[in-house]
Amino acid sequence: MIGVIDDEPGVLAGLKRILTASGLAAEGFLSAEDLLARGSLGDLTCLVVDINLSGMSGIELRRRLAAAGSGIPVIFITARDDEATRREAMSAGCVAYLGKPFPGRMLIDAIMSAVAAPKPPP
C-alpha cells in the first residue's frame, strides 16, 4: 500500500488514480497529521509526500517518522522546486524528489525503485 499525502484534494485524487491505474494500492491523506492519526503504518511500503503541506510540512513528517524509527521510504513532491528545498529534502532522507508537474511514469518508477531497495535498519 502506498500512502499519498497532499493537501490539494484534486492533486491527491489524481495521484491515487495514477497509482491504481498502475496496479498499486494507494491510501490518501490530506495532511501529515491525518497520516499520523492513522496509527500503524506497518502496511505502507512507501510514502509520496508533498513538501508544502498546510500544518506540518512533508519534511517535518519525514523527520518525525525517522525519529520514531520508521524506515519507510519517502518520495517528496513539490510545486516550489528550488535548490534550498531540494537540499533540505535530501538531508531529511528522501529516496526521490520530484518537481510538479511530473510524468506519472516518473512517479511509478521512483516508487518501484523505493520498494525494491533494501531497507536500512531502523
What domains sit in the chain, N to C, each tagged with a CATH number? 2-116 (3.40.50.2300)
- 105-111 mean pLDDT: 97
Cα–Cα dist 31/28, whole Å: 9
User: Which of the four pLDDT bands, split at 50, 70 and 90, describes residue 82?
Assistant: confident
Is pLDDT at 91 greater than 80 in this prediction?
yes
Cα–Cα dist 45/100, whole Å: 22
Model confidence over 17-44: pLDDT tens digits?
A: 999 999 999 999 999 999 999 988 889 9
- 45-59 mean pLDDT: 96
Query: In 30-103, which ranges are E strands?
Result: 46-50, 74-78, 96-99
